[in-house]
Structure 1
Amino acid sequence: MSAAADKARFFLEQSVPELKELERKKIFTPEEISAVAKRRSDFEHKINARGSSPADYAQYAEFEINVDMLRRKRIKRLGVKATTHNGQRRMFFVFDRGTRKFPGDLKLWMQSVEYARSQKALKKVTHTLTNALRLHPTKPELWIYAAQFALAENGDMTQARGYMQRGLRFCKNSKDMWLQNFRLEINWIAKIHARRCILGIEKDARKEEEIRLVGADEDMMMLPKLTAQDIAPEEDDHDKVDVTAVANLKSTPVMTGAIPIAIFDAAVEQFHHDADLAFNFHEEIAGLRHIPPIAAIEIHITEVLQEISSSSWQAQACLISIATLGMNQDDPAYPAALRELFRRINRGLAATKQQDDLKEWSIGLLTGLSQGDLDPALQQVLQSKVQALEAAAG
């Protein structure tokens, strides 16, 4: 026990200059300084004694985060010069000690990463993630987080792909790992498409005021629809888009959908042609069908599902969904496409034994199509079909 007390005393002594400065600048009162010192003493004795747990380190870090937040608010309110001691350093130190003592606790690693990310300490995030991945290479959630972080914070798709590819070597039997890899590529295609529309290089398939794009951290992010004329009203010949470069970009594996298709094919092969998994890939792209490469991917998934199990409800659902592929709701041919969609629903229900599943999926599809600024007559038709399916399901 004496060794634990000596360690606690050693670490407490290191915080004395900081506490004295806080008292000298009247950021904290003497009573508050005593209370902080006592709590730190309690935590230090607890984590240095036998029987400590990861939760003790997490609580210690939470306490230090609250102290630092209060310190920042007081400094701002009082208008005093910032202290020479960096509050972040104490939190990182607590987390580092915790992860060294409990390297197998994934939750503590992620708390450390999230705190560093909230403080915009991106180098610390990368360093912590690297250490965590070395110790837990078989944890899919770590590889997925690292890839999403690389793309969201650093905008580095090459690094994000690297994380995903290494992760798949260790976690090839994780369905979520394959799906997230596919989603990463789909989001990248969507972002490129949105940028091209903003720059006026190509037109968006939908006649809307905004471009909708699935994001890495949120379900949906909105980008204003701009044109090249908005960005450069008086462009000269030197500012014009290089037509050859645009054509070459369209033929790259990214913009043709070759990379997501390769991921899908490898995943289907890995899991022995699992129809449920294949359909999950299809659902990932349901909201991005207006992008040309996504349409090609959807057709490929539909063809593969027909080969895997043409009588499954998933295969029939894919056939139903592509009836309106590439169609806008204000397109003159849209009513005819809806009639074909209804016919495919009826044929699909006759072709599969999993009728309840297909009915439930079809009701969701038709309900989604009836939303928005659709013609009232078409809305009524869709609602009638939904009611008919619900009656049949009941």
Structure 2
Amino acid sequence: MAGASDKARFYLEQSVPELHELERKKIFTKDEITSIAKKRSDFEHILNARGSKPADYARYAEYEMNLESLRKKRVHRMGVKANVHTGQRRIFFILDRGTRKFHGDLGLWMQAIEYARKEKAHKKLARVFTSVLRMHPTKPELWIYAARYSTDVQADITTARSYMQRGLRFCKTSKLLWLEYVKLEMIYIAKIAARQKILGLDGSRPEKQAQSTTDESESDTIALPDVTAEDVDPGLESSLEEVAVQNLTSTPVLTGAIPIAIFDATTKQFPNNSALGKRFFDMFAEFDRAPCQAKILQHVLASLLKSAPTALETRICEFQQPLVGLEATSAAYPTALGQSLASVKASMQQIPHLRAKLATAALLTLVPLMRTEGLDVAIEKVMAASLRKFVAALQPQNQSSTLEQSGDRLADVVDLLLAQGRREDARHLTAYGLKHWKSDRLLQASAAVGPL
């Protein structure tokens, strides 16, 4: 016990100069300094005694964080100069001691990571990442966190890829890590495509328009012509931008080669897993701005049709693929909608036992169309007829259904929409259903979704 007291006294003595400075500059009063010293003494004796727990280190670090926050506010209000790193070093020192003693406690590690990120101590955070990943290499969430930090804060895709690739060596069976890796690449592609568009390197740069001179006589200023780099060197813009466009469009990044390679590696790790393939498909479908989206989706669908052609997930992807990335009011939408409806109809005929599940998936996909303003009249008619067919298909095959039974089945779809957080879609589907099918369950669903 004497050794514990000696350790505690040693650590406390190191903070004496800091406390003297705080008192001398009147940042804290003498009574407050006494209270701080007593609180630190209590914590140090607890930490250095036998039986200390990770929560003790966490509470000590939290106390010091609150104290440092108060110190900063008073320094700012009083306008005095003070050492800005002393408190930060003390907090890191406490957390380092805790993670060394309890290296298996992820809570302490995350507290250290979050504090370093909050303080923008990037070098320290890099060292913490190195240590925690060395201690917990089989935790996929840590690799994902480190990779996201590298891209979101540091804008360093190379380091982020390194984290993901190293993580996959230890966590090959983590589906989440594979999905997050390909999502990381898709986010990067979307960012590059957006920057390309902003810079006018996507081929959509508007042509220069001649300035109108109708108001020149009324203006009291002299309009001077714009002088650009192209005017000084006519070949400059065309040569540099053409090279830039060619380089950007031909790189493996924008062509989707990297996400496709990751997806192919995933299918080898998890063969014949149509549910995982559907998760990849849904994730790729979210990136409308990625120029390679259609190519990647087609590749995923082809892979699913080859490995599991009769799986429910495969048929849902086949039905949804033509509609991805299209606005309901675009000229190409009617044709795409026709392809999708034909696809789901064929699937229902080919795989009768999936008929009800396919109809449910079709309803979940098409319900947002009901909320689209300015929809073509012909599409509205097709939608109305299709919805009635899909509701009828919810009933088991070769069984006739009453209006009340159809309403009950539709209420099940409303429950699915609510479970997915799609309250507006649920509200519109309920309103549509009450016009055609009456049932107690549908009325209950109407009460659950709120006023129509």
Q: Deviations over 1:150-186 (max 9, x none)?
A: 2222211111111111111111111111111111111
With over 3 angstroms needed to count, the CA separation of the structure-2 counterparts of 1:264 and 1:27, relative to structure 1, is same
Q: Is the 8 A contact 2:47 2:57 kept in 1?
A: yes
Contact 1:197-1:227 within 8 A present in 2 as well: no
Q: Larger RCO: Structure 1 or Structure 2 (Cα < 8 Å, ≥ 6 residues apart)?
A: 1
Pairs within 5 Å for 1:210-359: 234-236=228-230, 237=234, 238-240=236-238, 241-325=240-324, 327-352=326-351, 353-359=353-359
Whole-Å Cα distance in 2 between the matches of residues 341 and 84 of structure 1? Answer: 62
**Corresponding residue for 1:112?**
112
* Structure 1 position 191, deviation (Å): 0.7
Identity %: 47
Q: Secondary structure at the match of 1:100?
A: helix
Please, which runs of 5 or more residues in structure 1 have no aligned partner?
Answer: 205-225
**Structure 2 match to 1:24:** 24
1:143-158 equivalences in 2 (<5 Å): 143-158=143-158
**How high is the TM-score relative to the length of structure 2?**
0.76
SS of match in other structure, 1:375: coil
Give the CA deviation at 1:391: 6.3
What is the DSSP-based 3-state SS (H/G/I as helix, E as strand, rest coil) of the residue aligned with 1:292? Answer: coil
Cα distance in 1 for partners of 2:51, 2:254 equals: 55
Deviates more, 1:153-162 or 1:258-267: 153-162
Q: Note if contact 1:367-1:383 (Cα within 8 Å) is conserved in structure 2.
A: no
- The range that moved more, 366-375 or 279-288, is 366-375
Give, in angstroms, the shift of residue 291 of structure 1. 2.8
Report the Cα distance in structure 1 between the residues aligned to 2:383 and 2:294, rounded to whole angstroms.
23
Structure 1 residue 203, shift from structure 2 partner: 6.1
Name the structure 2 match of 1:182: 182
How far is the alpha carbon of 1:349 from its aligned partner? 3.3
Task: Classify 1:16/1:228 alpha carbon distance in 2 versus 1 (closer, same or farther; 3 Å).
Answer: farther
The amino acid across from 2:120 in the alignment is K
Distance 2:41 2:376 in 1: 70
Moved over 4 A (4+): 226-229, 369-374, 376-388
Q: Secondary structure at the match of 2:348?
A: helix
* Alpha-carbon distance change, 300 to 85 in structure 1, aligned in 2, over 3 angstroms: closer
* Counterpart-to-counterpart distance in 2, 1:285 and 1:336: 22
CA separation of 1:85/1:323 partners in 2, compared to 1, >3 Å: closer, same or farther? closer
Checking the alignment, whether the CA contact within 8 Å between 1:317 and 1:348 is kept in structure 2 is: no
Q: Matches of 1:334 and 1:276 in 2, distance apart? A: 27
Q: Which moved more, 1:133-142 or 1:91-100?
A: 133-142
Contact 1:282 1:301 in 2 (8 A): yes
Contact 1:329 1:374 in 2 (8 A): no
Q: Report deviation, 1:309.
A: 1.2
Equivalents in 2 of 1:278, 1:289: separation in Å? 19
The one-letter amino acid paired with 1:289 is: D
Distance 1:57 1:233, change over 3 A: farther
Deviations 1:306-331 (A, max 9, x none): 11111111111111112224533332
Deviates more, 1:325-334 or 1:370-379: 370-379
Deviations 1:228-269 (A, max 9, x none): 98xx99442434443134223312211111111111011111
Structure 1 residue 196 and structure 2 residue 222: aligned? no
Tell me which moved more, 86-95 or 350-359: 350-359
Counterpart position of 2:421: none
Shift of 1:384: 6.8
Q: 1:371: how far off? A: 4.7
Distance across 1 between alignment mates of 2:337 and 2:227: 41
Partner SS, residue 288 of structure 1 = coil
The question of whether the paired residues in 2 share the 8 Å contact of 1:198 and 1:227 is answered with: no
Larger radius of gyration: 2
- Which residue number corresponds to residue 130 of structure 1? 130
User: Shift of residue 375 of structure 1?
Assistant: 2.3
Q: Distance in 2 between matches of 1:360 and 1:8?
A: 65
Measure, in 1, the Cα distance between the counterparts of 2:374 and 2:48: 66
Q: For 2:331, what is the secondary structure of its paired residue?
A: coil
* Separation (CA, whole Å) in 2 of partners of 1:227 and 1:20: 66
2:201, 2:244 within 8 Å by CA — same for their partners in 1?
Answer: no
Secondary structure at the counterpart of residue 242 of structure 1: helix
Separation in 1 of the partners of 2:228 and 2:371? 40
TM, length-normalised to structure 1: 0.86
Q: Which runs of no fewer than 5 residues in structure 2 stay unpaired?
A: 209-225, 395-408, 410-452
Instruction: Write the letter of the residue equivalent to 2:77.
Output: R
C-alpha separation in 2, matches of 1:368 and 1:333: 18
Whole-angstrom CA distance in 2 between matches of 1:328 and 1:123: 45
2:212 corresponds to which residue? none
Contact 1:313 1:348 in 2 (8 A): no
Per the alignment, do residues 227 and 25 of structure 1 end up closer, same or farther by CA in structure 2, a change over 3 Å counting?
farther
What corresponds to 2:168 in structure 1?
168
8 Å CA contact retained: 1:198, 1:228: no
CA distance in 2, matches of 1:233, 1:276: 58
Cα distance, 1:28–1:382 mapped onto 2, change above 3 Å? farther
Q: What is the alpha-carbon distance in structure 2 between the residues aligned to residue 156 and residue 131 of structure 1?
A: 20
Query: Aligned AA for 1:310?
Result: P
Q: Equivalents in 2 of 1:146, 1:27: separation in Å?
A: 37
Matched, 1:69 2:56: no
Q: What is the aligned residue count? A: 371
